C-alpha cells in the first residue's frame, strides 16, 4: 500500500506540474510578429486610401480593426539593417553599433536583444525569412533566413540558412517563407509560449510579384502622388541631389526584356536575383522625357503593389492558421515594416530620409481581450520602443539600459502623462546607396528640424500641419526664428539624453568607416 500511495502521489504531482505548465503557457501570450521590408503606409488601406479601390490590404487591415493602429510610429534610422538592430535591442544605432547597411559590418550578436530575453523567460522562439544583420541570429530555438545577396534575399528559389545549414528551396519567397513559419508552428514545443518572427523580403526592390499577380494592374493607370513633380526648390542640396528618382530605376526594376548586348555585369545582376525577365518591350524608343518618367512610375508602382498582394494573402494564411489551431485568443499579432518608402512622392523610390513617407513605419497590433478593437494611437512612437513593449506584454523584465519606452498603456487606451512629444532621428549611410546626405533631426508633433552634414552644413524646417508634404523649407523664415532656436535646443537635449554627442567630424567618420561588411 505504501508503494501504491507513493505512486498515486507521484501521478498527482505530475498532473499538477503539467497543469502548471499549461497555466504558464496560457498566462503568457504568444507573439506572431509579421515584418516586411519597405512597406509604405501609403500602400496600406488602414493607413491611407490612395490605393484602396485597386489594391486593398484586407488581412493587414483586419489586424488593425481587431486591435490598434499606430499612426505616428517612426524608424530612428530609416534603413533595413539599422532599423532591425534598433528593434531587437531597443537602442539607437550609435548604441547598438549597427549604423549602416553598406559597409555596415556585423550586428554584435553578443549584446542583449528582446528575443534572448523572451527565451530566458520561457518562450520558444523562431525567426523565419529576412534577417539581414550579417551575424548569426541569437535568441532563437529555430531560424531559417535568406542568405542570397548579402542576406537581402531573392524572390525566386531562395537559399536560406536553417540553423546554420545552407538550404536551397524552390518557389516564390513570400509563399514558401510562410510555409516554413507554419511548419515551425506545427512542430514546435507546445509546452512553452512562443514568439515567431516572420520577416518577408517583400516588397523590397526589385518588387517582383508572384507569377499569378504579374498582370494584376495591367489595364489601369494608377494614381500619381501630388509631389511627383517636385522641383526641390529651397532644398537643392539635399532632396535635389539624390539617386532615387525614376531615372535610377534600372532594367531589372522595370522588368525590361534583356537586350542581347547586355554587358556582363548587368547580365549577372539579372541572373543573380533569380529574376524572370518579363520581356516587357523597352519603351525607350517611343517614350522620352516626362512620358518615360511617368511610364517608369507606373511599372514600378504596379509591381510594388502586386508584390504586396502576396504579402497580404500570406498574412491571411497565418491568421487562418491561428484560428484553426485555437491560438487566436492568446496570441498577439503584429504587422510592421522596417521603415516606410517613397511611392513616387518627391519623384522618388527608396527611403532613408527623415521625410515623412520614409521615416513612418507601419505598426499594427492585436491582442484579443486586452487591446480594444479599432484603437488608434497618434502619439509619437519609435522603433526602439518595440522591444520594451513586447517585454511588458509578456511580463518580461526590461533592462535599465534599454533606451525605448513601452507603449503598452497607449495600446490599452490609457493616456500617459509625460509621453514623449518629440523624437530624435539619425541617418549615416553615404554616398551609397542612393546618395542621401547624412542627417539627423528632431520631429515633434507639429514640426521637423533637420541638420544635413558631411560635406555641407544645411538645415531644414517643416511645419507638418501647414505643409504635410514637406515642400516648403522654412529655415530662412524670419517668423520662425525663435521656434528654430527652441527646436535646436530640444534637439541638443535629445542627443545628450540618448548619448550621441559626436562632433560632425566624428560623425563623418562613421559614414566613411567600412565596418567590415
Binding site for ligand SGN (CB under 6 A): 37-38, 79-80, 101, 152, 204-206, 350, 433-434
What is the smallest separation between the CB atom of 201 and Ca ion, expressed in angstroms? Answer: 10
What is the smallest separation between the CB atom of 429 and ligand SGN, expressed in angstroms? Answer: 9
Side-chain half-sphere CA neighbours of 8 within 13 A: 5
Decide which of ligand SGN, Ca ion, none touches 357; Cβ closer than 5 to 8 Å per partner kind: none
215 CA to centre of own chain: 26
User: In terms of CB distance, is 101 or 124 closer to ligand SGN?
Assistant: 101
User: In terms of CB distance, is 272 or 329 closer to ligand SGN?
Assistant: 272
What is the smallest separation between the CB atom of 268 and ligand SGN, expressed in angstroms? Answer: 12
User: In terms of CB distance, is 335 or 367 closer to Ca ion?
Assistant: 335
What is the smallest separation between the CB atom of 49 and ligand SGN, expressed in angstroms? Answer: 26
- Comparing C-alpha atoms, which of 344, 349, 360, 358 is closest to residue 230? 344
What is the smallest separation between the CB atom of 78 and ligand SGN, expressed in angstroms? Answer: 8
Contact 449/487 with Cβ under 8 angstroms? Answer: yes
Contact 4/10 with Cβ under 8 angstroms? Answer: no
Question: Residue 443 pairs with which residues in a beta bridge?
Answer: 423, 448
Which residues lie near Ca ion (CB under 5 A)?
37-38, 80, 338
Contact 377/115 with Cβ under 8 angstroms? Answer: no
Contact 449/491 with Cβ under 8 angstroms? Answer: yes
Decide which of Ca ion, ligand SGN, none touches 346; Cβ closer than 5 to 8 Å per partner kind: none
What is the smallest separation between the CB atom of 100 and Ca ion, expressed in angstroms? Answer: 13
Q: Spell out where 37-158 has E strands.
A: 68-70, 73-74, 124-129, 142-146
User: In terms of CB distance, is 192 or 206 closer to ligand SGN?
Assistant: 206
What is the smallest separation between the CB atom of 327 and Ca ion, expressed in angstroms? Answer: 29
Which residue lies nearest ligand SGN, judged by its C-beta? 80
User: In terms of CB distance, is 208 or 391 closer to ligand SGN?
Assistant: 208
Q: Is 313 helix (H, G, I), strand (E, B) or coil?
A: helix
- Comparing C-alpha atoms, which of 56, 40, 71, 44 is closest to residue 207? 40
User: In terms of CB distance, is 132 or 405 closer to ligand SGN?
Assistant: 132
User: In terms of CB distance, is 152 or 486 closer to Ca ion?
Assistant: 152
What is the smallest separation between the CB atom of 434 and ligand SGN, expressed in angstroms? Answer: 6
Decide which of ligand SGN, Ca ion, none touches 433; Cβ closer than 5 to 8 Å per partner kind: ligand SGN
What is the smallest separation between the CB atom of 300 and ligand SGN, expressed in angstroms? Answer: 12
User: In terms of CB distance, is 37 or 61 closer to ligand SGN?
Assistant: 37
Helix H or strand E encompassing 264? helix 264-272
203 preceded by a cis bond (ω within 30 of 0): yes
The Cα–Cα gap between 356 and 416 comes to 24
What is the smallest separation between the CB atom of 64 and ligand SGN, expressed in angstroms? Answer: 24
Decide which of ligand SGN, Ca ion, none touches 206; Cβ closer than 5 to 8 Å per partner kind: ligand SGN
The Cα–Cα gap between 97 and 118 comes to 22
- Read off φ and ψ for residue 209, nearest 5 degrees: -70, 160
Write the CA distances from 134 to 94, 107, 122, integer angstroms: 18, 6, 27
Q: Is 256 helix (H, G, I), strand (E, B) or coil?
A: strand
Decide which of Ca ion, ligand SGN, none touches 350; Cβ closer than 5 to 8 Å per partner kind: ligand SGN
Decide which of Ca ion, ligand SGN, none touches 393; Cβ closer than 5 to 8 Å per partner kind: none
Pairing of strands 331-337, 439-444: unpaired
User: In terms of CB distance, is 302 or 434 closer to ligand SGN?
Assistant: 434
Cell output for 428: 549615416
Which residue lies nearest Ca ion, judged by its C-beta? 80
Write the CA distances from 108 to 99, 119, 135, 138, 277, integer angstroms: 12, 18, 7, 10, 38
User: In terms of CB distance, is 101 or 406 closer to ligand SGN?
Assistant: 101
Decide which of Ca ion, ligand SGN, none touches 205; Cβ closer than 5 to 8 Å per partner kind: ligand SGN
For helices 80-89 and 386-393, give the axis angle rounded to 10 degrees: 40
Amino acid at each position: 500500500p505504501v508503494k501504491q500511495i507513493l505512486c498515486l502521489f507521484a501521478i498527482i504531482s505530475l498532473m499538477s506540474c503539467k497543469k502548471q505548465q499549461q497555466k504558464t503557457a496560457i498566462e503568457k501570450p504568444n507573439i506572431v510578429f509579421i515584418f516586411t521590408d519597405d512597406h509604405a503606409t501609403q500602400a496600406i488601406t488602414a493607413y491611407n486610401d490612395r490605393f484602396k479601390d485597386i489594391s486593398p490590404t484586407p488581412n493587414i487591415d483586419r489586424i488593425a480593426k481587431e486591435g490598434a493602429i499606430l499612426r505616428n510610429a517612426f524608424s530612428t534610422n530609416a534603413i533595413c539593417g539599422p532599423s532591425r538592430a534598433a528593434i531587437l535591442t531597443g537602442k539607437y544605432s550609435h548604441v547598438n553599433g549597427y549604423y549602416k547597411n553598406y559597409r555596415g559590418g556585423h550586428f554584435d550578436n553578443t549584446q542583449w536583444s528582446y528575443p534572448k530575453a523572451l527565451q530566458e523567460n520561457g518562450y520558444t522562439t523562431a525567426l523565419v525569412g529576412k534577417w539581414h544583420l550579417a551575424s548569426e541570429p541569437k535568441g532563437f530555438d529555430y531560424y531559417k533566413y535568406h542568405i542570397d545577396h548579402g542576406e537581402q534575399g531573392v524572390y525566386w528559389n531562395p537559399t536560406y540558412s536553417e540553423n546554420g545549414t545552407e538550404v536551397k528551396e524552390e518557389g516564390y519567397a513570400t509563399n514558401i517563407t510562410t510555409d516554413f513559419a507554419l511548419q515551425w508552428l506545427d512542430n514546435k514545443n507546445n509546452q512553452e509560449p512562443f514568439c515567431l518572427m516572420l520577416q518577408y523580403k517583400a516588397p523590397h526592390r526589385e518588387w517582383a510579384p508572384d507569377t499569378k499577380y504579374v498582370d494584376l494592374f495591367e489595364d489601369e493607370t494608377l494614381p500619381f502622388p501630388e509631389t511627383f513633380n517636385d522641383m526641390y526648390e529651397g532644398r537643392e542640396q539635399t532632396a535635389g541631389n539624390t539617386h532615387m528618382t525614376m531615372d535610377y530605376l534600372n532594367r531589372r526594376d522595370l522588368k525590361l526584356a534583356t537586350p542581347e548586348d547586355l554587358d556582363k555585369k548587368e547580365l549577372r545582376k539579372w541572373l543573380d536575383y533569380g529574376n524572370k525577365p518579363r520581356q516587357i518591350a523597352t519603351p525607350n524608343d517611343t517614350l522620352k522625357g516626362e512620358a518615360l518618367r511617368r511610364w517608369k512610375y507606373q511599372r514600378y508602382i504596379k509591381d510594388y503593389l502586386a508584390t504586396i498582394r502576396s504579402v497580404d494573402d500570406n498574412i491571411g494564411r497565418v491568421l487562418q492558421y491561428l484560428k484553426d489551431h485555437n491560438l487566436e485568443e492568446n496570441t498577439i499579432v503584429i504587422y510592421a515594416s522596417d521603415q516606410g518608402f517613397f511611392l513616387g512622392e518627391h519623384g522618388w523610390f527608396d527611403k532613408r530620409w527623415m521625410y515623412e513617407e520614409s521615416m513612418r513605419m507601419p505598426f499594427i497590433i492585436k491582442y484579443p481581450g486586452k487591446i480594444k478593437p479599432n484603437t488608434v494611437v497618434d502619439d509619437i512612437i519609435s522603433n526602439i520602443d518595440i522591444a520594451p513593449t513586447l517585454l511588458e506584454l509578456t511580463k518580461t523584465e526590461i533592462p535599465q539600459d534599454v533606451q525605448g519606452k513601452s507603449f503598452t498603456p497607449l495600446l490599452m487606451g490609457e493616456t500617459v502623462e509625460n509621453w514623449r512629444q518629440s523624437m530624435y532621428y539619425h541617418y549615416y549611410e553615404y554616398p551609397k546607396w542612393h546618395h542621401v546626405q547624412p542627417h539627423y533631426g528632431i520631429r515633434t508633433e507639429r514640426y521637423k528640424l533637420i541638420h544635413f552634414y558631411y560635406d555641407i552644413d544645411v538645415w531644414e524646417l517643416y511645419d507638418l500641419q501647414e505643409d504635410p508634404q514637406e515642400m516648403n523649407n522654412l529655415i530662412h523664415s524670419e517668423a520662425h526664428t525663435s521656434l528654430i532656436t527652441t527646436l535646436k535646443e530640444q534637439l541638443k537635449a535629445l542627443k545628450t539624453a540618448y548619448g550621441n554627442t559626436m562632433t560632425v567630424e566624428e560623425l563623418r567618420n562613421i559614414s566613411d568607416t567600412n565596418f567590415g561588411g
